[in-house]
Structure 1
Amino acid sequence: MNVHITEAKRILVANDRGGYTVPTDRLYPFQWNWDSAFVAMGFALYDTDRAYRELERLIEGQWADGMIPHIVFHQPSDTYFPGPNVWRTRHTIPTSGITQPPVFAIALRKVFEAAGSGAEARTLPLYEAALKWHRWWYSARDPEGTGLVALLHPWESGSDNSPAWDIALARVPTTTDTPVVRKDTGHVNASMRPRDEDYNRFIHLVDTYAACGWDPAMQWGKAPFKVAEIQTTAILLKAGEDLEHLAREFGRTEDAAEIAAFNDLTRKAILAQWRPALSRFVSRDLISGEDVEAATQAGFIPLLSLDLEKNIADALVDEMKAWSKGLKVAFPTTKPGIAGWEPKRYWRGPAWAIINWLLIDGFKRNGHPEAAEELRRSTVAAIEAEGFAEYFDPVTGEGCGGLGFSWTAAAYMWLAWT
């Protein structure tokens, strides 16, 4: 077995905290939602029992209304801010009060298929949890029935400080009721992390929603940040396709019809966000009513969940090639050279293995196997050269952020081993 696969497995063992995996020690000492879904897919390649356990531990934090929070605080740690006392969510297990991209059902289908016959009984409670979460997305985050789901906090995108949020986030005050005591910059160079003013705005939003008692309708009414987001919506659609597949597999015909209706609505809504002049899809700022035109990776993620007309798929691939030209590692999360481009700062430029994994699947789906292979090779080479870093500087190839990172290990297994 390749030495890097052995090291990837070792990282997952090192980051195991008893049936759930932390993204990396100290910097992220709890269970994160979409991280765990990617990690479960990594485990599915060689240990389906542990893959199931990852997802089971995550849904221990699911709320009664169906939301799966972005962080589950299974045990205390003082190395991360904001902790449970800032979120004030009043749940049996402490959790954050917001969510994250719904990769869960994508992972569940992969784990179920890897487990083979006899796995239905263990899969069904996870399927039910996924269905409840999808219903939550459409009721809490698309109350007007547009087919696009909205985020009320940049952290829900997973792309926390992306240039995509610069305009919408600038309207959020930097005042907070909560002292902002950052811990992240004690673990990682501050030049690789969001700025202090970003954090003040992030915490202002947390304070606002905590004051609503985390009630979805009250939050929707009071939200100073509300973006119908293309990356999250595209992931929701792919997860919806996988959930519909599982519903049919389990003979849940009524569920399957309900999920299919969600998927149809969302498919049409995403297609309406295509902007030929930009050669990518766009999000919509629901407060200003305007397109979010910032050039980020989010505009390409619909490749994952749509069977696009050839001219659209070709335009997306050509635009991605233009962004990647001359870079050591593809794919940058911000278009190189624009005002918001910072190749080492978190989601303002670096290449992330999990984003590449989604894009590679999108290329394959849309008839571009050569682009998929090129991006796969670029990602694998970066990890083999620099190790399992949180993300990579696309210009120099340097591994940045947290090291010994769980989802980078899981992505490597899928890209190098399958």
Structure 2
Amino acid sequence: MRSSAPGPVFSLREIPFSHHGSWFCFSPVVAEGTYADEVHLVSHQTGMHPILKVVPESGAAVTATPHRLSWTRDEGRIDLAYESADTVRVRGLGLGLRLLAADPVLTPFSGPYFYRDPVDGSYVFTVYQTGRRYRITVLGGQAEPLGTQALGAAERGVVLSGDWEIAVEEYETARAPYTTTTSFEQVVTAARAEFDAFTAAVAPWRGDRTPAAELAAYVLWSATVRPAGFVTRPAVLMSKHWMDKVWSWDHCFNAIALGAGLPGLAWDQYRLPFDHQDGAGALPDSVTHSEVLHNFVKPPIHGWALRHLPPPPDPADTYRLLERWTGFWLTARRAPGHELPHYQHGNDSGWDNATTFDAERVVETADLAAFLVLQLRELARLAPGPDAAARWTAQADRMRDALLAELWDGERFVARGALSGRTRSSSSLLELMPIVLGEELPQPVRAALAAGIERHLTAFGLATELPDSPHYQDDGYWRGPIWAPSTVLIEDGLRRAGYPELADEISARFRALCEKSGFAENFDARTGQGLRDRAYTWTAAAYLILSAAHERRGRTT
């Protein structure tokens, strides 16, 4: 599907300008919650690092679309577009530009060192923080260097004026001199075609009823990086702001959003954390370019996710990996004599500071048991033979029965200290998450959970803490704000539990929230304002998942 419209226009303060596969972006966001006056080239190799400052002549206004970044003032303009994942072309027509080191201080161990390459005459920044080089090749017009080979606090970079064009590349130690026969407008056209093809694949159903679908697709497309460092396959980062990692449950939602249209890329998302599965079978907490963290884990939603993905390309391998991940919970996270597994910290649940964990951190919770029941069911489905399938089915039945016998108090699910044995309830939405079991729960339990979920529903969606709770905080992370993963999991569970009307309402409110407030990491449950990182891929993925399902239901009713 090809549109003649220029595509969605977005604010760089909300969403960075980038390209599928690239490890860098253009954004005024230079650190967590820190906004510069100028747009910066920000690299995400070895962390988040502002490298170059893009400074047009004063008074220029910036506009971003998926395929072109522009600055305009009077009759002059500057345009920037990606030629490839590691190269951008920048063209100025009657508007000058200074392209400067973001860090003005240079020492042998910090800041960009700037020099002119005697081989091809290009200007090169070599940057300690990323261990990469950034080459500026002048394709037309005049460029004046500032501070080449200077140590200290000298301003360093290139000044361009009049009509001019350059290429900027990120690379390792050396590469052949940059040459091209492609015009700037051809670069823009190719970039647009790449994005249009991606959008057509992941959101072929988009239309007037899904006005945020194209921008949601852009958030996913532009946050995707090519394999490098510990990122072993093409990966959708959570953001190309400061949340520039893949966490080991976030990736499932991105995989589901991509699954129908781009199954290969979807399976890359699902598999990436499994590439770093440790000897105990545990998945890492997170993976990024230069770091794999194992200090926490994330909840085992991977069996649930398999229900929403296309068939695995290698079922036997998927079974083996899921078996090891499930075995970790059944072995390393069950106290002797206990049927139910435990989290060691709120971070393990993905709900870092939820009130469920206020009294004790090491707790057996109902959400964890419910996820494992679903995962055990998937192992039974993937099992290589009837004996293995029967074994997993029996384990799933036993886990479900223990959940109901030990954590259901007749009115609600409680959490139990794995060491103390004390039980406690809270006003966190997390304690209603067993609705993901859907039809497996007795009807009175389903009804109680649905009623509890409805109490969390604000005008904008599901608050993660009851709004009338004394622990509720508007910007309290998992102590109030609306989040995408909890919304998708609960919406899906309600449908299977026999509450489609409530599921419809939750879906509609969350979709409207994204259309109003974008794809923030989370949202104020009272006002709908976007909070924290404003270009979060699992939020965009949730919008696509819910919108696609809503459009499918609309076509069949």
Are 2:494 and 1:296 aligned?
no
The 5 Å alignment of 1:47-62 reads: 47-62=262-277
Q: Percent identity?
A: 27
Relative to structure 1, is the Cα distance of residues 409 and 124 closer, same or farther in structure 2, using a 3 angstrom cutoff?
farther
1:60 aligned counterpart, secondary structure: helix
The 1-side partners of 2:375 and 2:425 are apart by: 25
Q: Do the aligned residues in 2 keep the contact of 1:106 with 1:243 (CA within 8 Å)?
A: no
Q: Do the aligned residues in 1 keep the contact of 2:456 with 2:466 (CA within 8 Å)?
A: yes
Out of 255, 264, 267, the position equivalent to 2:388 is: 255
Give how far 1:147 is off: 3.0
2:416 aligned counterpart, secondary structure: strand
Aligned to 1:127: 319
Are 2:212 and 1:4 aligned?
yes
The 1-side partners of 2:385 and 2:429 are apart by: 35
Give how far 1:346 is off: 0.5
Give how far 1:145 is off: 5.0
Are 2:267 and 1:136 aligned?
no
Aligned to 1:173: none
Aligned to 2:244: 29
**What code does the residue aligned with 2:355 have?**
P
Are 2:218 and 1:16 aligned?
no
The 2-side partners of 1:376 and 1:159 are apart by: 21
Q: Do the aligned residues in 2 keep the contact of 1:21 with 1:31 (CA within 8 Å)?
A: yes
The 5 Å alignment of 1:383-402 reads: 383-402=514-533
Per-residue CA deviations over 1:209-247 (Å, capped at 9, x if unaligned) read xxxxxxxxxxxxxxxx41112222212222222232222
Give how far 1:275 is off: 2.6
Q: Do the aligned residues in 2 keep the contact of 1:112 with 1:123 (CA within 8 Å)?
A: no
**What code does the residue aligned with 1:62 have?**
Q
Q: Which has the higher helix share?
A: 1
Are 2:280 and 1:65 aligned?
yes
The structure with the largest alpha-carbon Rg is 2
The 1-side partners of 2:307 and 2:273 are apart by: 16
The 1-side partners of 2:436 and 2:277 are apart by: 26
Out of 354, 362, 373, the position equivalent to 1:226 is: 362
Q: Do the aligned residues in 2 keep the contact of 1:98 with 1:156 (CA within 8 Å)?
A: yes
Relative to structure 1, is the Cα distance of residues 6 and 147 closer, same or farther in structure 2, using a 3 angstrom cutoff?
farther
Aligned to 1:194: none
Give how far 1:45 is off: 2.5
Relative to structure 1, is the Cα distance of residues 68 and 145 closer, same or farther in structure 2, using a 3 angstrom cutoff?
farther
Q: Do the aligned residues in 1 keep the contact of 2:345 with 2:357 (CA within 8 Å)?
A: no
**What code does the residue aligned with 1:317 have?**
A
The 2-side partners of 1:6 and 1:252 are apart by: 44
Aligned to 1:274: 408
Are 2:293 and 1:95 aligned?
yes
TM-score by length of 2: 0.57
The 5 Å alignment of 1:9-408 reads: 9-18=217-226, 19-73=234-288, 75-76=289-290, 94-113=292-311, 120=313, 122-168=314-360, 225-247=361-383, 251-272=384-405, 273-276=407-410, 279-306=411-438, 307-324=440-457, 327-408=458-539
Per-residue CA deviations over 1:255-274 (Å, capped at 9, x if unaligned) read 32232132112101211212
Question: Cα RMSD between the aligned structures?
Answer: 1.8
Q: Do the aligned residues in 2 keep the contact of 1:147 with 1:262 (CA within 8 Å)?
A: no
Give how far 1:389 is off: 1.1
Aligned residues: 332
Q: Which has the higher strand share?
A: 2
Q: Do the aligned residues in 1 keep the contact of 2:246 with 2:286 (CA within 8 Å)?
A: yes
**What code does the residue aligned with 1:162 have?**
A
Relative to structure 1, is the Cα distance of residues 35 and 145 closer, same or farther in structure 2, using a 3 angstrom cutoff?
farther
TM-score by length of 1: 0.75
The 2-side partners of 1:245 and 1:128 are apart by: 13
Q: Do the aligned residues in 1 keep the contact of 2:432 with 2:452 (CA within 8 Å)?
A: no
Give how far 1:321 is off: 2.1
Give how far 1:252 is off: 3.1
2:293 aligned counterpart, secondary structure: coil
The 1-side partners of 2:338 and 2:391 are apart by: 16
Q: Do the aligned residues in 1 keep the contact of 2:369 with 2:400 (CA within 8 Å)?
A: no
Relative to structure 1, is the Cα distance of residues 141 and 389 closer, same or farther in structure 2, using a 3 angstrom cutoff?
same
Q: Do the aligned residues in 2 keep the contact of 1:101 with 1:236 (CA within 8 Å)?
A: no
Per-residue CA deviations over 1:119-176 (Å, capped at 9, x if unaligned) read 55x33322210111101110010143533210112210100011111122xxxxxxxx
**What code does the residue aligned with 2:435 have?**
L
The 1-side partners of 2:482 and 2:385 are apart by: 39
The 2-side partners of 1:108 and 1:314 are apart by: 26
